[in-house]
């Protein structure tokens, strides 16, 4: 897994505080001193949850976020912690743009709910629709994508994300079924790199690009998908890849176009994603950084919800009132404190 490889290469330093390329590694006590655990309510159930939990803390360069999904092991969480520390304790790379175009994101909902969800994303011209949901059929995906196309019109852009939920034959069949909606690309249709390469070979004549997400952020070698010719573009996320600089290095080495996406972050985490997108030499696609619109409350106002289809490139400072109103229950705060402690040990403790 990428997590264990990242820690072998970049983590496990002696001592609580050390120097690496000019960045300070904060002690656990420093992180805990400003830590807040929040629980954001969602407008629509997504990834099986109605609330998104995250830990926020303030570094010398501003607020940052540590929010690995609840089921992720400590080794993987440690990579997300490295990203949080990188963003809070280091200056961001030079920004090449001041705002980022973003897409709307539609969970695996009933087709009748799609228009209302798209309407939450002000001015977005691109929609990403979740497909291949366990327990659903291809007919459900087709209906959902059809509703999204109707919502954005003929000039809008449609992309789908299967999260590796199909095998090669299923993916080929699904792409044929969905091709009438003029797909911009298909994200992670199959889970393995070999499957992606085979599928890309089969559907190349259709002119529909294949994007890799999990094959980058969950792989022991995030460049393997590019070397195998298994994708036309990469979907990159700052936290799962260990920070802005690590993600930029991966894109540069892969030599493929990149789409920056979120991991259902709060507006603080989205500002990290915006900094990553702003630093890319080329930005050919709308980014998946509009997901603040999936929440009914956030840690900052106005936060990072899209306006006119774009979000600004700026650091976000949470509102004290919002931090208080969205504070997680005491037992959940303790759970995150314990998780932070374990992730910090994974990242910085001696072998």
Residue 55: both structure tokens together = 């830990």
Output the known binding site for Mg(2+).
161, 187, 213
Distances (CA, A) of 80 to 55, 67, 218, 315: 11, 7, 12, 18
- Contacts of range 248-256, beta carbons closer than 8 Å, 24 or more positions apart: 248/93, 248/276, 248/279, 248/280, 250/216, 250/222, 250/223, 251/280, 253/223, 253/226, 254/222, 254/223, 254/225, 254/226, 255/226, 256/226, 256/231, 256/232
The answer to whether the CB of 220 falls within 8 A of the CB of 4 is: yes
Catalytic hit among 19, 204, 218, 237: 237
Distances (CA, A) of 349 to 9, 89, 182, 266, 303: 14, 19, 50, 29, 35
Is 237 part of the annotated catalytic residue set?
yes
Output the known binding site.
161, 187, 213
* CA–CA distance, 88 with 26 (Å, rounded to integer): 10
Catalytic hit among 19, 130, 204, 218: 130
* CA–CA distance, 16 with 32 (Å, rounded to integer): 13
Q: What is the DSSP string of 88-144?
A: HHSPPPPPS-SEEEB-EEE-S--GGGHHHHHHTSTT--EEEEE---TT--HHHHHHH
**Catalytic residue IDs:** 130, 237
């Amino acid at each position: 897994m990428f997590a264990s490889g990242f820690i072998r290469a970049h983590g496990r330093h002696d001592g609580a505080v050390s120097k690496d390329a000019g960045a300070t590694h904060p002690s656990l006590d420093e992180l805990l001193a400003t830590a807040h655990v929040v629980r954001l309510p969602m407008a629509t159930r997504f990834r099986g949850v109605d609330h998104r939990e995250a830990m926020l803390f303030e570094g010398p360069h501003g607020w940052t976020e540590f929010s690995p999904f609840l089921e992720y092991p400590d080794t993987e969480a440690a990579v997300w912690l490295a990203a949080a520390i990188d963003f809070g304790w280091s200056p961001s790379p030079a920004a090449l743009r001041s705002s980022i175009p973003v897409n709307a994101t539609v969970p695996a909902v009933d087709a009748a709910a799609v228009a209302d969800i798209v309407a939450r994303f002000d001015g977005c011209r691109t929609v990403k629709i979740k497909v291949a949901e366990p327990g659903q059929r291809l007919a459900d995906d087709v209906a959902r994508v059809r509703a999204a196309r109707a919502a954005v019109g003929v000039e809008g852009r449609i992309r789908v994300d299967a999260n590796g939920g199909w095998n090669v034959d299923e993916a080929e069949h699904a792409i044929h079924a969905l091709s009438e909606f003029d797909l911009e690309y298909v994200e992670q249709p199959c889970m393995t790199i070999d499957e992606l390469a085979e599928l890309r070979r089969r559907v190349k004549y259709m002119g529909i690009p294949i994007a890799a997400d999990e094959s980058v952020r969950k792989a022991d070698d995030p460049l393997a998908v590019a070397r195998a010719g298994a994708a036309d573009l990469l979907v990159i996320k700052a936290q799962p890849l260990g920070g802005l600089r690590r993600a930029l290095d991966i894109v540069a080495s892969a030599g493929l176009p990149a789409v920056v996406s979120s991991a259902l972050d709060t507006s603080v985490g989205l500002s990290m994603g915006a900094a990553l997108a702003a630093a890319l030499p080329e930005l050919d696609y709308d980014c998946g950084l509009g997901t603040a619109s999936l929440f009914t409350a956030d840690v900052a106002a106005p936060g990072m919800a899209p306006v006119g289809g774009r979000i600004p490139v700026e650091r976000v400072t949470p509102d004290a009132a919002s931090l208080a109103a969205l504070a997680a229950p005491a037992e959940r705060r303790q759970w995150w404190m314990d998780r932070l402690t374990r992730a910090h040990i994974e990242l910085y403790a001696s072998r």
